[in-house]
Chain A
């Protein structure tokens, strides 16, 4: 049981990470970031169930709350990007030199 749940969590995390790396649309990247956080948060819940210890679920509530406020700021940044360039493709934003 535990192993399967862990595999699912890591898989979710990995899908999110790959999504952030290969997608160039800011909104999709936001979703991928959310997937990463939830994949990692799922480990907390799985472990909480496995250990019979409720504090992991409380921790996940903190993680979820933080993730929500983080996404709010991300959406604000998406709006700023759209207002500047009329696009949320991150390749359109490359004025800062390497």
Chain B
């Protein structure tokens, strides 16, 4: 069995990121203490090169390594989302690492390896590759959550994430075992062929297997019964990593879930749409309701990310290509709004008490007019107010639901958006209308952070006003 250049081409972006991860691992040994910042530059370089390669290979459609790895528009689209997120989080990390005096080498190396795992997760039709990728990326995320090892919060967050994450991935193995037992393969195309003319016993067993596998993916995307880690982990992790975790693994897991549902579970679409209907409703409603009572900005963003996962599940429940494409588009827009909001959370935290309480935002709109305006934009965008990308994304998600005659689901989604406006607007009210600015001055007031916030604001506005190009790319990215 020979591997050719075609096989290597299909994993080119992964290879580049992996090479840079190994390079950091080695070079870090020889770097003197004061020039550890070079690791960050290397990581950034790797991400930029991988981004260039992914973008240049965008419309390729390669199946490699005997069908274990594929490269198609969807994997490249999600790859672009992940690499953009990684780019911004590495930029945010520069000052964070200096401020917290962390080990830069390990930090970037673990980050890059989890990016490789996410790229692999996004580009496979094989369940066992998906499992290995999910686990590899989770291991990286556990380490990064516990990276502030002198803080009780961070240790606790890593511990909770670890236990719940391993619990969920055991269910993933159980589901894969059942699928393999039923159809003799973990390849989704073979599963589909087997399921297409299966008897009712095989059908019911596949639904059971689907439920087990959904536990694994639902954990990664923070769907309702498996969401409880989200706010704790986002609050505990280093803020640049919270930003990264809220977008990149979710994007990869959503694409893997789409592949699993459309290709593998295609013949039992009627059954899984019913299950996802319930999950989507509970995810949206739970995330938005609990977010009403949050006092901490990072926890608020954690619950809001649960709610947004619910909106995206609406697009999957619709089970039409408009819905799948809207999920991709929403992920792309979510990248800009969430990165910006987390960057602002970093902005308000001071070195002494690292407070990201919403109360610390008091008077921010006057002291830092530009940052305040950007935060206003991000909150409007998360709430789904036009002319931002949040509105366009939600509009297409809910119209996909209407197109599939899921009127109740669309109505529940819209009602949820209205509920969510309350707590997003509360942040804005705190910024502009809660009295005089306090004395506490953020020490973390760096140029890279401002760049990230401005790019986020620009993205949110630009895609919100001229969505058609991006929407077209996103909707045509799902071609399976």
Mask, B135-160, CB within 8 Å of A = 1, is 11011001100100100110111111
Q: Are A17 and B167 in contact, CB atoms less than 8 angstroms apart?
A: yes
Question: Do A93 and B152 touch (CB < 8 A)?
Answer: yes
State whether B132 touches A96 (Cβ < 8 A).
no
Bound-state CA distance A81–B131 (Å) is 28
Q: How many residues of A contact B (CB 8 A)?
A: 43
Contact call A59/B166, Cβ cutoff below 8 A: no
On whether the beta carbons of B170 and A77 are closer than 8 Å, the reply is no
Interface residues of B in 156-180 (CB under 8 A from A): 156-160, 162-163, 166-167, 169-171, 173-174, 176-178, 180
Say whether, besides A66-B135, A77-B162, A43 and B232 are in contact (CB < 8 Å).
no
Cα–Cα distance between A38 and B110 once the two chains are bound (Å): 26
Report the Cα distance A40→B209, complex, angstroms.
12
With a cutoff of 8 Å between Cβ atoms, the chain B residues found around residue A43 in the complex are: 174, 177-178, 180-181
Q: Is the CB of A93 within 8 A of B163?
A: no
The distance in angstroms between the C-alpha atoms of A48 and B284, with both chains bound, is 40
Binary contact track B363-389/A, C-beta < 8 Å → 1, others 0: 000000000000000000000000000
CB contact between B232 and one of A16, A44, A96 (< 8 Å): that residue: A96
Q: Is the CB of B157 within 8 A of A96?
A: yes
Give a binary string over A32-72; 1 marks a CB under 8 Å from any B CB, 0 the rest.
01001101110110111011010110010011001001100
Cβ-defined partner of B176 (8 Å) among A17, A29, A59, A95: A59
C-beta contact mask, A9-21 vs B, less than 8 Å → 1, else 0? 1000100110010
Q: Is B236 an interface residue (CB 8 A)?
A: yes
Given contacts A63-B173, A81-B159, A95-B156, contact A56 B180 (CB under 8 A): yes
Give chain A nearest CB distance to B172 CB in angstroms: 8
The residue in chain B whose Cβ has the minimal distance to the Cβ of A21 is B167
The answer to whether B162 touches A73, judged by C-beta atoms less than 8 angstroms apart, is yes
Whether B166 pairs with A33 at a CB distance below 8 angstroms is: yes
Shortest CB distance A53–B (Å): 6
- Minimum CB–CB distance for B118 against chain A, Å: 16
For A53, what are the chain B residues with a Cβ–Cβ distance below 8 Å?
184
Bound complex: CA of A62 vs CA of B176, how far in Å?
Answer: 13
Residue in contact with A59 in the complex, picked from B128, B146, B156, B157, CB distance below 8 Å: B128
Main secondary structure of the interface of B (DSSP, over half): helix
Hey, which chain B residues are within 8 Å of A77, CB to CB? 142, 146, 155, 158-159, 162
* Residue pair B174, A20 in contact (C-beta under 8 Å): no
Question: Are A33 and B155 in contact (CB-based, < 8 A)?
Answer: no
Q: When chains A and B are docked, how far (Å) is the Cα of A74 from the Cα of B170?
A: 15
- Residue in chain A with minimal CB distance to B156: A93
* B186 close to chain A: CB less than 8 A: yes
Does B235 lie at the interface of the complex (its beta carbon under 8 Å from any beta carbon of A)?
A: yes
Chain A residues whose CB sits within 8 angstroms of the CB of B146 once the complex forms = 77, 80
Give A75 Cβ to nearest chain B Cβ, in Å. Answer: 10
* Residue A7 interfacial (CB < 8 Å): no
Instruction: Tell me whether A73 and B131 are in contact (CB under 8 A).
Output: no
Cβ contacts under 8 Å, A66 to chain B: 131-132, 135-136
Cα–Cα distance between A91 and B412 once the two chains are bound (Å): 38
Known: A37-B170, A69-B139, A80-B149. A74 touches B186 (CB 8 A): no
Contact call B170/A93, Cβ cutoff below 8 A: no
B189: Cβ under 8 A from any A Cβ: no
Please name all residues of chain A whose beta carbon is closer than 8 Å to the beta carbon of B143 when the two chains form the complex. Answer: 73, 76
> CB-nearest residue of chain B relative to A44?
B177
Q: Tell me whether B185 is interfacial, beta carbon within 8 Å.
A: yes
Given A63-B131, A80-B149, A96-B235, 12 more pairs with CB closer than 8 A: A36-B167, A36-B170, A37-B170, A40-B170, A40-B177, A41-B177, A43-B178, A47-B181, A59-B128, A69-B135, A73-B162, A74-B162
A sample of 18 cross-chain residue pairs with beta-carbon separation below 8 angstroms, ordered by A number, consists of: A9-B177, A13-B170, A20-B167, A33-B166, A33-B167, A36-B170, A39-B174, A40-B171, A43-B178, A44-B177, A47-B180, A59-B180, A62-B128, A66-B131, A66-B136, A76-B143, A81-B155, A93-B156
Please list the residues of chain A having a beta carbon within 8 angstroms of any beta carbon in chain B. Answer: 9, 13, 16-17, 20, 26, 29, 33, 36-37, 39-41, 43-44, 46-48, 50-51, 53, 55-56, 59, 62-63, 66, 69-70, 73-74, 76-77, 80-81, 83-85, 90, 93-96
